[in-house]
Amino acid sequence: MTILLEIPDSVARAIRLPRNEQSHQLKVELSLSLYAQGLLSFGKSCELAEITQLEFSILLGKRNIPRHYDEQNLDDDIAYANR
């Protein structure tokens, strides 16, 4: 499924980014917001933003958005590493 988000021309023109960067930057901003609200996982947020996990982690740090990583995630990572 693909979701098409329509942004009015007046709003698109008001965005202070070069036209060729708007689509990518809006995806990044949306992915950060959805991740911060707990609505999208880390991996899917990276996929939406079309950036690497490292790049997304750096953006989270710059925006002071805490990483959602709990004890269960740690246990899962340890189990995976021990295979």
Q: Is residue 54 in a domain?
A: yes
Contact 68, 60 (CB under 8 A): no
Q: Is residue 15 in a domain?
A: no
12-58 pLDDT, tens digit per residue, is: 999 999 999 999 999 999 999 999 999 999 999 999 999 999 999 99
Q: Is residue 50 in a domain?
A: yes
For residue 61, the tally of other CB atoms under 10 A from its CB is 11
Q: Is residue 1 in a domain?
A: no
Q: Is residue 55 in a domain?
A: yes
* Stated pTM of the model: 0.81
**Total count of domains within the chain:** 1
Structural domain containing residue 35: 21-81
